[in-house]
């Protein structure tokens, strides 16, 4: 049976336009999805937008339009950017869609009946930007540690989710599923947080109108995070599994794809995904995702990206000028996926010229030029051997290990080690002069290089799909045309 692979990104808030941070997670998911597809797996790649909550309400009010109009406009911006960036998602969920809203409402009622949700009163400090209550102990100088803003004191009647009941089951689950909390260096933070004791979570609001109403008590709307997390199952048709009539005509892939194999997220929303989400799934009696991977944050030229600093990087500014693939390459080669990174144009240009224009681009063009002169044709399949190909075969195994571990930078290092090795091999064996004295030997080396380039093509393909396609095309046509450089050098 074909192996399935279900990968998700966070669903993004629509209060501002997408930037390089959003693109980062989505590109990572795309790379993983393309890689798994290339291995023949049945991949389901989900992304989408998180469209409810007070922040959206506020943004729409400020713009003088309805929240629905606001989210429709903003969701388009994300969809457009994903087109530009060549994102191959299989499904795009919006939390204002019927398939999602009805599922959330139904789940709420089920948990209410089970006693996992109950009615009470809440008073606490709430950070509007986090859309979350913050514990006094977490405040820094009285402010939210992430947004550096003072939270508001809120008191309201609310429904609670019995998170406290899941402390032990969660700890046991983490213990038995070591890959769930990934990367491993981030696991301790979650385990300690849960060990310190969990409080029940307020999951409704009475003051937020732009949200999904509780079916049995419509004065309450459902808390955005409770609403949002459910996207991962509503998208694959859990509502239909629950027997919701209005969803009878919807496609249902739940049995096929759930549990998710990898939820990719940024580190700031690890707790929501590693604590609340598995607890909700446990309450529903559903299997838990295999892995939640929390990557690091990008800063820009050393500064946190922020509206006030005006240093949000719009990926389009880069792709318009330098192409999509160089950006896709850069952000995964430059920084180990999992850690924090800094985006600087200087580093981007340096890598563009060194890795792409020089190492890869020159390798392809010098190989093809020599092939054009010395080979009649490039056979698709024939017995070719040599030390370079042996190196490729072992690099291929290494590459797979790195890709499966989400070590994208190391996977690319592996490819570039071979690229560097090939350039050196050409310098040392000098096929152009060998062609005069020992033409057969020169041909054998060129064939070996062409076959090695096919490996390179495969390795770079999830990261740089257009480049890989063009490389494959040239390698196939091979000896006929004179090609322009893959990556013309840019001014530093």
Which of residues 124 and 266 has its CB atom nearest to ligand MSP in the complex?
Answer: 266
Tokens describing residue 246: 């209005």
Q: From CA 99, how far away is CA 377, in angstroms rounded?
A: 54
Using the rule CB under 6 A, which residue among 124, 213, 266, 386 binds ligand MSP?
A: 266
Write out the binding residues for ligand MSP, residues 36-75 only, by CB under 6 A.
50
104 makes contact with ligand MSP (CB under 6 A): no
269 makes contact with ligand MSP (CB under 6 A): yes
Q: Residue 288 has what DSSP assignment?
A: P
Burial track 137-158 (b if 16+ CB lie within 10 A, e otherwise)? eeeeeeebeeeeeebeebebeb
- Cβ of residue 131: shortest distance to ligand MSP, in angstroms? 8
User: What 3-state class would DSSP assign to 44?
Assistant: strand
Q: Exposed, middle or buried: residue 450 (CB in 10 Å: 0-12, 13-18, 19+)?
A: buried
User: What 3-state class would DSSP assign to 156?
Assistant: strand
Q: For 334, what's the count of Cα atoms within 13 Å in the CB-facing half-sphere?
A: 24
Which of residues 322 and 343 has its CB atom nearest to ligand MSP in the complex?
Answer: 343
Using the rule CB under 6 A, which residue among 78, 166, 298, 425 binds ligand MSP?
A: 298
171 makes contact with ligand MSP (CB under 6 A): no
* Residue window 180-219: x/- pattern of binding to ligand MSP, with contact defined by CB under 6 A: ----------------------------------------
Q: Among positive and negative, which fits the CA dihedral 209, 214, 220, 221? A: negative
Element (H, E) at 422: helix 408-429
21 makes contact with ligand MSP (CB under 6 A): yes
331 makes contact with ligand MSP (CB under 6 A): no
State the residue number with the nearest CB to ligand MSP. Answer: 21
- Cβ of residue 237: shortest distance to ligand MSP, in angstroms? 18
- Cβ of residue 129: shortest distance to ligand MSP, in angstroms? 9
DSSP string, 378-420: --SS-----HHHHHHHHHHHHHHHHHHTT-HHHHHHHHHHHHH
- Cβ of residue 14: shortest distance to ligand MSP, in angstroms? 8
- Cβ of residue 249: shortest distance to ligand MSP, in angstroms? 26
Which of residues 326 and 338 has its CB atom nearest to ligand MSP in the complex?
Answer: 338
- Cβ of residue 400: shortest distance to ligand MSP, in angstroms? 25
Which of residues 170 and 276 has its CB atom nearest to ligand MSP in the complex?
Answer: 276
Write out the binding residues for ligand MSP, residues 220-259 only, by CB under 6 A.
228-229, 231
Element (H, E) at 463: none
**Nearest alpha carbon to residue 350 among 375, 322, 372, 382:** 322
Residues 6+ away with beta carbon under 8 Å from 422? 363, 367, 388, 449, 452, 453, 456
Using the rule CB under 6 A, which residue among 6, 24, 332, 399 binds ligand MSP?
A: 24
Residues 6+ away with beta carbon under 8 Å from 156? 121, 122, 123, 202, 205, 206, 207
Which of residues 204 and 231 has its CB atom nearest to ligand MSP in the complex?
Answer: 231
Tokens describing residue 368: 């093809």
- Cβ of residue 229: shortest distance to ligand MSP, in angstroms? 5
Using the rule CB under 6 A, which residue among 7, 11, 43, 214 binds ligand MSP?
A: 11
Residues 6+ away with beta carbon under 8 Å from 28? 9, 264, 295, 332, 337, 406, 408
- Cβ of residue 67: shortest distance to ligand MSP, in angstroms? 15
Please list the active-site residues: 19, 22, 127, 130, 144, 147, 304, 307
Element (H, E) at 37: helix 20-38
305 makes contact with ligand MSP (CB under 6 A): yes
Which of residues 13 and 451 has its CB atom nearest to ligand MSP in the complex?
Answer: 13
Write out the binding residues for ligand MSP, residues 416-455 only, by CB under 6 A.
none
Residues 6+ away with beta carbon under 8 Å from 489? 352, 353, 357, 358
Using the rule CB under 6 A, which residue among 10, 151, 239, 431 binds ligand MSP?
A: 10
Which of residues 334 and 359 has its CB atom nearest to ligand MSP in the complex?
Answer: 334
Which of residues 213 and 266 has its CB atom nearest to ligand MSP in the complex?
Answer: 266
Burial track 118-128 (b if 16+ CB lie within 10 A, e otherwise)? eeeebebbbbb
Residues that bind ligand MSP (CB under 6 A): 10-13, 21-22, 24-25, 50, 228-229, 231, 265-266, 268-269, 297-298, 305
């Amino acid at each position: 049976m074909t192996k399935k692979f279900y990968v998700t990104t966070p669903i993004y808030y629509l209060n501002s336009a997408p930037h390089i941070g959003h693109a980062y997670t989505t590109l990572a998911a795309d790379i993983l999805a393309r890689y798994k597809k290339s291995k023949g797996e049945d991949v389901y790649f989900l992304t989408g937008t998180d469209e409810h909550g007070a922040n959206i309400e506020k943004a729409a009010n400020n713009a003088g339009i309805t929240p629905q109009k606001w989210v429709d406009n903003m969701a388009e911006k994300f969809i457009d950017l994903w087109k530009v960036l060549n994102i191959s998602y299989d499904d795009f969920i919006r939390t204002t869609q019927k398939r999602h809203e009805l599922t959330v409402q139904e789940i709420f009622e089920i948990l209410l009946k089970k006693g996992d949700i109950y009615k009470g009163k809440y008073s606490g400090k709430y950070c509007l930007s986090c859309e979350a209550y913050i514990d006094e102990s977490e405040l820094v100088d009285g402010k939210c540690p992430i947004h550096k803003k003072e939270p508001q004191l809120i008191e309201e009647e609310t429904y609670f989710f019995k998170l406290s009941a899941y402390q032990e089951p969660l700890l046991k689950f983490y213990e038995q599923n070591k890959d769930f909390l990934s990367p491993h260096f981030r696991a301790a933070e979650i385990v300690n947080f849960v060990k310190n004791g969990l409080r029940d979570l307020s999951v409704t609001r009475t003051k937020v109108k732009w949200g999904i109403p509780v079916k049995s008590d419509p004065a309450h709307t459902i808390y955005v995070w409770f609403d949002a997390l459910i996207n991962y199952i509503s998208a694959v048709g859990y509502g239909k599994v629950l027997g919701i009539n209005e969803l009878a005509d919807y496609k249902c892939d739940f049995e096929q794809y759930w549990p998710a194999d990898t939820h990719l997220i940024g580190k700031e929303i690890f707790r929501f995904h590693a604590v609340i989400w598995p607890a909700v799934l446990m309450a529903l009696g559903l299997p838990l995702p295999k892995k939640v991977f929390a990557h690091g944050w990008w800063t820009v030229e050393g500064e946190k990206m922020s509206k006030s600093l005006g240093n949000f990087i719009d990926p389009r500014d880069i792709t318009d000028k330098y192409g999509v693939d160089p950006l896709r390459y850069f952000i995964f080669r430059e920084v180990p996926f999992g850690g924090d990174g800094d985006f600087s144009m200087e580093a981007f240009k340096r890598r563009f010229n060194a890795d792409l224009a020089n190492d890869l681009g020159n390798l392809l063009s010098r190989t093809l030029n020599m092939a054009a002169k010395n080979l009649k044709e490039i056979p698709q399949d024939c017995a070719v051997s040599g030390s370079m190909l042996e190196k490729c075969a072992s690099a291929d195994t290494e590459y797979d290990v790195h890709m499966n571990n989400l070590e994208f930078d190391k996977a690319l290092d592996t490819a570039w080690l071979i690229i560097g090795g090939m350039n050196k091999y050409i310098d040392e064996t000098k096929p152009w002069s060998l062609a005069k004295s020992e033409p057969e030997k020169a041909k054998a080396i060129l064939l070996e290089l062409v076959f090695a380039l096919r490996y390179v093509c495969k390795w770079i393909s999830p990261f740089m799909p257009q480049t890989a396609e063009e490389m494959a095309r040239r390698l196939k046509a091979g000896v006929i045309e004179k090609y322009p450089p893959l990556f013309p050098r840019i001014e530093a």
